[in-house]
Amino acid sequence: MPTLYNRIQGRNLERLAALSDGIFAVAMTLLVLDLHIPSAAQVHSEGDLVSALAALGPQWVAYGMSFLTLGIFWAGQQTQLNHIAEGTRDLTWIHLGFLFSITMMPFSTRLLAEFITYRAVLGIYWLNIFVPGAMLYWSWAYSTAAGLVKSDTHEEIRNSICRRILIAQSLYAAGAALCFISTWLSIVAIVLVQLNYAIAPRLWGRAGHPSTPSARQ
């Protein structure tokens, strides 16, 4: 009866979190590893060096954007797991699927850095934002249905997690669609959406909803 074994597998959410942190840490650090320094043969003066580094511009854009993407998904996964009481084997495999799409990020980033004006590349990069988002949505929908969510999680929080993914992914899709006009425009739009999720709420929050200790409780 293999289902007995399946029932005892994947209970340990801490190890899932540790594996995830490891994969995100490696992926985030590898991004910059692909940034090759100018070769000594090209560089004969301070000026040469500065121009050679400036020529890496599109690569810096790609790497900065990918670090933002990874940071957003890392924070999103963490928020979900904080609200899940215990794991199951199914949840483990949904998250392994999520992590597989995360390990693709250095590949998509290199592709984007090298061929930043190609629409096909932007499509692949967008897929690499869409798939982890879809996996996280599935993870939450599954956890809710299977009764894995911590009992002290308010209805409002349960809904906000799904809603957030749907809104963010709609904005990313709209941004990616702009590549039919220009891939650069598309990248600017995606980065703006990302910055909105990473930074802007902080500024807004400060104005309208102060995150003071009292407000946090």
Site for its own copies in 187-216 (CB under 8 A): 198-199, 201-202, 204-205, 208-209, 211-213, 215-216
Which residue, 118 or 184, has its beta carbon nearer to its own copies?
A: 118
* Tokens, residue 40: 């000594």
**Separation of alpha carbons 98 and 92, rounded Å:** 10
Instruction: Give the per-residue contact string, 153-192, with its own copies (x = CB under 8 A; - = no).
Output: ---xx--xx-xx--x-------------------------
> Inter-axis angle of helices 119-145 and 89-103, to 10 degrees?
160
> Taking contact as CB under 8 A, which single stretch among the options 28-36, 131-139, 173-181, 184-192 is the one that binds its own copies?
28-36
Query: Is 55 among the residues that bind its own copies (CB under 8 A)?
Result: no
Interface with its own copies includes 140 (CB under 8 A)? no
Q: Does 32 bind its own copies (CB under 8 A)?
A: yes
Residue 36 CB, shortest distance to its own copies, in Å, is 9
Q: Answer yes or no whether residue 46 interacts with its own copies by CB under 8 A.
A: yes
Report the alpha-carbon distance of residue 172 to residue 164 in Å, rounded. 12
Residues 62-121 that bind its own copies (CB under 8 A): 64, 67, 71, 74-76, 78-79, 82-83, 88-90, 92-93, 96, 99-100, 103-104, 106-107, 110-111, 114-115, 118-121
Burial class (CB in 10 A: 0-12, 13-18, 19+), 207: exposed
**Does the protein bind its own copies through residue 4 (CB under 8 A)?**
yes
105 burial (CB, 10 Å; 0-12 / 13-18 / 19+) is buried
- Check if the beta carbon of residue 201 is closer than 8 Å to that of residue 164: no
Q: Which is nearer to its own copies, 192 or 209 (CB)?
A: 209
Return the SS3 of 55: coil
Amino acid at 128: N
Number of residues interacting with its own copies: please give it, by CB under 8 A: 91
Determine contact, residues 204/196, Cβ cutoff 8 Å: no
Query: Distance between alpha carbon 201 and the CA centroid of its chain, in Å?
Result: 17
**C-beta closer to its own copies: residue 117 or 174:** 117
